[in-house]
Structure 1
Amino acid sequence: MDDLSPSDLKTILHSKRANMYYLEHCRVMQKDGRVLYLAEAKRENLYFNIPIANTTVLLLGTGTSITQAAMRMLSQAGVLVGFCGGGGTPLHMATDVEWFTPQSEYRPTEYLQGWLSFWFDDQKRLGAAKAFQLARLSYLKQVWQASRELKLEGFDVAELASALDTFVERTEKASKPADLLLTEAQLTKALYKHAANRTQKNGFKRQHEADDLANRFLNHGNYLAYGLAASCLWVLGIPHGFAVMHGKTRRGALVFDAADLIKDAIVLPWAFVCAKENVTEQEFRQQVLQAFIEHKAMDFMFNTIKAIALQDDSEDEITEQQR
């Protein structure tokens, strides 16, 4: 059999890739045409392969380094690389350390052009923000109704019907982004209360600096969602600064808008469930990543953002694409 070159292999779409990797205390390098990471053991050095063709995001945590050759191969494979703190949090992309975003002259332009066609119009941008919020709610209903595990834990969309109806009504009537942010905060508060009641976390308060498991898992899971969102926007060629809700001048704010599409549906309930079961951070991370795959979070994110970019921003059209 003749040897295969990389150009002979079919590229896996980012929306279909399976993996997000977090590495710590290792060295990432290129060796024999592959990207490996080296972990030092007591008596020997251990090399492990990273399947870059099937990877969306590579997070490098405490005690990591990466070679230029490995970075070049990751760039060619379209893998988004970022540095983060121990355990996957905090994700430094939100502060001073930028993500390495590999560039390609073949990235699509239609989605950026579509995005800019409405972004400078206040009312059209508000319409896009509303589409994000309605799609977010649609996905939450879809995931919670389809997840047998969440049903067994007591997560029931029907019990939140009043809060969800109010959310839709206020979203549709919103006249400025600040109204949407207030409505979003009220919905999130209701979801936290529902999740806390179902997992015996009465009195729970969302505090980013708190050290209890639920808050830590929420932080961790949200950063994983930010990784998917950043990867999705990069692949579509839409700069992270063109946000529709989180502020026009906040660097990277569109990442937060996109991540919100999946956070409530997946990260929020599993953060509470895993905190109740007192699992490790690694086990929580695996659970969330598995849920992303099971419920096609990446596909949903791509379809929603593509639809909005091309001005197919009604709830019915976005929901139809999901199906």
Structure 2
Amino acid sequence: MNAIPGARPPDPKDLVRVRDRLTFLFVERCTVNRESNAISIADGHGIAHVPAAALSVLLLGPGVRITHSAVSVLSESGSTIVWVGENGVRYYAHGSPPSRSSRLLEAQARAVSDPSLRLAVARSMYLMRFSGEDVSKLSLQQLRGREGARIRRLYRQHSQRTGVPWDGREYDPDNFEGGSLVNQALSAANSAVYGVIHAVIVALGCSPGLGFVHNGNYRSFVYDIADLYKADLTIPIAFDIAAGPLTEAVGSAARKKVRDSVREFRLLERCVADIKGLLSIAGPVDIDDEELIVDDLRLWDDREGTVAAGVSYEESAEL
């Protein structure tokens, strides 16, 4: 049999773990190509080289041309490509995830389909935001109200800290520049964090659309996880940007600040651990990142659970 043409993909064990990768890279108005096992990014200012295997997600903004070979090396390296709009505040599509296992996805589907398990996961998500407070006896409705009050209080505190006026959250996706400076910064910062978290979710093999608190959107689970970190990441970033002198577009400033803060915050590591911890409510999910990128296709069986795939089974004599 002839060998399959094309470059051989790297062994999954040789890839950098999701939690140890760079956070994200946003590019626009450039050409993305492949050079060996890296990608090159070229524009009027020169060429930059990025190791594909160490990148978590590549955000492609307007005016980007990307070659087939660049997409190939990113896919082989387990990096996710996300196509976004101007200022990074619109999400259009993403490439194939590095995960080949459905074990976490099955746990997620099991938890979101069982009302009692879904309630337990949703409550856990709220409880993670009230460290040091005893809110275990509150209902989901009470927790939702408590969370709304907490976020409004944070907005007021950061407004007083920075001296930036705050008149409430406003976001019009069709008029990004119509909002106040702090709202623009908040939208851009949130969008960058959504991209990183979306990349982690698909890298783990989970579904971005199966949310526990949020519902009915193809990124419901992304919003669920992002809400765990906004108080420590995007809200203070947005007020700091609005308070300081701007030497570049607000969207660009927000993304750069998020990039640095996400690394300091160890968001990838925390996100992986939190997702696994939340989904473990539906059953044990104590598996390594390396196990998630190993293809283990099997057939479901109502008696044995699963049986081997790729086998020709003869008709059972017990019929």
TM-score interval (norm. to shorter)? 0.7 to 0.9
Q: Say if 1:24 and 1:60, in contact at 8 Å, map to a contact too.
A: yes
Task: Tell me whether 259-268 or 24-33 shows the greater mean CA deviation.
Answer: 24-33
Task: Tell me whether 215-224 or 183-192 shows the greater mean CA deviation.
Answer: 183-192
Q: What are the within-5 Å matches in structure 2 for residues 249-288 of structure 1?
A: 249-279=216-246, 280=248, 281=250, 282-288=252-258
Q: Say if 1:135 and 1:304, in contact at 8 Å, map to a contact too.
A: no
Partner of 2:161: 198
Q: What are the within-5 Å matches in structure 2 for residues 131-150 of structure 1?
A: 131-138=124-131
Q: Say if 1:19 and 1:54, in contact at 8 Å, map to a contact too.
A: no
Q: Say if 2:120 and 2:281, in contact at 8 Å, map to a contact too.
A: no
Task: Tell me whether 291-300 or 203-212 shows the greater mean CA deviation.
Answer: 203-212
Q: What are the within-5 Å matches in structure 2 for residues 1-323 of structure 1?
A: 7=11, 10-40=14-44, 46-88=46-88, 90-92=89-91, 97-102=92-97, 107-138=100-131, 165=133, 169=135, 172-175=137-140, 180-209=143-172, 210-247=178-215, 249-279=216-246, 280=248, 281=250, 282-311=252-281
Amino acid at match of 1:271: A
- Counterpart of 2:24 in 1: which secondary structure? strand
CA separation of 1:20 and 1:203: change in aligned 2, threshold 3 A: closer
Distance 1:182 1:61 in 2: 36
Q: 1:172: how far off? A: 4.4
Q: 1:39: how far off? A: 1.0
CA separation of 1:12 and 1:103: change in aligned 2, threshold 3 A: closer
Amino acid at match of 2:79: V
Q: Say if 2:29 and 2:63, in contact at 8 Å, map to a contact too.
A: yes
TM-score, length basis structure 1: 0.75
- Counterpart of 1:311 in 2: which secondary structure? helix
Percent of paired sites with the same residue:
24
TM-score, length basis structure 2: 0.76
Number of residue pairs aligned between Structure 1 and Structure 2: 267
Q: Could you list the runs of 5+ residues in structure 1 that have no partner in the other structure?
A: 139-163, 314-323
Question: Bigger radius of gyration, 1 or 2?
Answer: 2
Distance 2:64 2:142 in 1: 42
Bigger fraction of residues in helix:
1
Q: Say if 2:10 and 2:77, in contact at 8 Å, map to a contact too.
A: no
